Amino acid sequence: MKKLVLGILFFVSLLNAASVVDIRKNQMTPLIKCDSSGICDGKNAQDIRISLGDHNVTAIVCKDETNCGGITAAEARMKGLTPVVICKVNQDCGNISFGKASIYGVKPVVPCNVSGRCNDGVNAIDVRINQMTLIVFCTSGGECI
């Protein structure tokens, strides 16, 4: 029964999926999570950027400026990945301060869904006031949920 309910919820979420373009129209940033080798959802990051026509869509989540899945933020940028750190609306970014993240080129972001509901129930205005970026995670095929 539990699997059936989860399957139905997954199917409904696919019906609500948006494209990378839709996310940008809603003034949010679509991101596809990649690992330190540049593989994102089973595909090469460069191939994804070319197929979606968007060079800023591939990202790697960092814990701090020196640990982005085992590489530094600078190494991630050299691989064409945008280094990001997941933050709360109060600029709490875990192991790295908001200011230090910006200095090292790690983008402070707050994850949201396609309808604009973000972590901790915050709204988009609060996120932007705190100088952070609203993001929506997407698949390598460009579908965002």
Both tokens of 70, joined, read: 């085992």
Does residue 25 belong to any structural domain of this protein? yes
Q: What is the pLDDT of residue 16?
A: 54
Instruction: Please check the confidence at residue 11 and state whether its pLDDT lies above 80.
Output: no
Does residue 130 belong to any structural domain of this protein? yes
Does residue 36 belong to any structural domain of this protein? yes
Does residue 73 belong to any structural domain of this protein? yes
Q: What percent of the chain has pLDDT over 90?
A: 47
Does residue 11 belong to any structural domain of this protein? no
Number of domains in the chain: 1
Please state whether the predicted TM-score (pTM) of the whole model is above 0.85: no
- The pLDDT tens digits for 52-98 are 888 889 999 999 888 999 999 999 999 999 999 999 888 889 889 88
- What residue numbers bound the domain in which 107 lies? 18-144
